[in-house]
Amino acid sequence: MSVPSDARLDTLLQHTGQAPLDPATGSGPVAMPSMRTSTVRFADMEALDRAQAAKARGERVPTYGRVGLQTHAALETLLCELEGGTRAFLAPSGMAAISMALLALAGQGDHILAADCVYAPVRYLHKTILSRMGVRMDFVRPTVEALTAALRPETRVLYLESPGSLLLEMLDLPALARWGRAHGLVVVVDNTWGSGYVYRPLALGADVSVVAATKYIGGHSDLMLGAAVACDEALNRRLGETHYALGSTVSADDAWLALRGARTLGLRMRQSAVHALEVCRWLESRPEVSRLFHPAWPADPGHALWRRDAQGSNGLLSVAVDFDGAGARRLIDALRLFGIGYSWGGYESLVTQVEPQALQTHGYWAEQADARLRAGSVLRLHIGLEDPRDLIADLQQAFTQALA
């Protein structure tokens, strides 16, 4: 039994990373077990020498537990299938994967250009660690014009996220990646939104894709995990060195959970995406809604880019409502099925209020001149796998209560 070389992604997601068969019995488990171990043992010194030699050539050969054994390797292979990379480096969270990638690619005196719409803790990474190392980072509008104006002789990395955090604006990733490469920059993209299933930055011209498997890949809100995936051999070596030096390690149980989640990634993302569109349709009918931010929604300004570059969508959407801060809080508190909480990509629906200070860092928001929009509040919803009719009924009663 082997997977045909032309198998499609949904097939690969089921067949990649199967547990090996025991040659003595010719049988093995269907599901990859969680291989918990802190170290590796060898049959003899020659076997150890062979492993060391392969490792020196840059191959993924565990000689100690930190890099992980078959469970980790299976997840890495699957992440490579998703992202179209050749190596995946696991990290204990999405943020740890981002830190690992930026620490691998920038050093003293270097400059990183980042989109102003990226996941906000990246600014904190710069403030607390990268700046102390002498790395300068600027957050600018992700347009060729703005990036060109901010480019410096010492710029080394272009760091993007598409669609952007908070307002989900689609970037023209192929154009930005082309520009970055033309200026000798390594293009790194946070692909947590697409998770390799509905958006594939490496195929769109990026060099490194980082993903929080905490979100859709895990999919059940029960683990934290991240990865950096790349194709280029020199980049893989660079990421591998940093991964090793940081001692970044992931529990076999968490790798196992991520692998288990990935088997149903397609189903869950597709279903959440259908539900999100139904919720969008209802929200659009509400007089209190001034804007929807969801690239799969036909009225979204990023819809054409989404159609061109993405293979699907997910359950994440932001919505601008006419309620002031207090009204938005009443609305959120009135919801029964939406948990109040950060994160997304799990089976369940969640809601947060997007903080006005966070919006201020976003050039895209500053460009929204509409006074009505700016007077209101922005909520971020993750639409989960509940029956969308129940979610809509819940929103309906919460709007009514917030208006009362």
- Which residues are catalytic, by number? 66, 119, 190, 215
- In the sheet that 111-115 helps form, which strands lie side by side, from edge to edge? 87-91, 226-230, 208-212, 186-190, 155-161, 111-115, 136-140
CB of 71 closer than 8 Å to CB of 223: no
Nearer to ligand PLP, 81 or 190 (CB): 190
Nearer to ligand PLP, 95 or 335 (CB): 95
Nearer to ligand PLP, 70 or 191 (CB): 191
Report, in Å, the least distance between residue 400 CB and ligand PLP. Answer: 31
Q: SS3 sequence, 254-319?
A: HHHHHHHHHCCHHHHHHHHHHHHHHHHHHHHCCCCEEEEECCCCCCCCCHHHHHHHCCCCCCEEEE
Q: Between β-strands 111-115 and 136-140, what pairing exists: parallel, antiparallel or unpaired? A: parallel
Report, in Å, the least distance between residue 189 CB and ligand PLP. Answer: 10
Binding site for ligand PLP (CB under 6 A): 93-95, 119, 161, 165, 190, 192, 212, 214-215, 224, 226
Nearer to ligand PLP, 115 or 277 (CB): 115
CB of 91 closer than 8 Å to CB of 226: yes
Residue nearest ligand PLP, Cβ-based: 94
Structure tokens at 239: 């990421």
CB of 189 closer than 8 Å to CB of 160: yes
Report, in Å, the least distance between residue 27 CB and ligand PLP. Answer: 36
Nearer to ligand PLP, 165 or 377 (CB): 165
Residue type, 199: Y
SS3 call for 57: coil
Report, in Å, the least distance between residue 23 CB and ligand PLP. Answer: 38
Report, in Å, the least distance between residue 226 CB and ligand PLP. Answer: 5
Omega cis (within 30) before 4: no
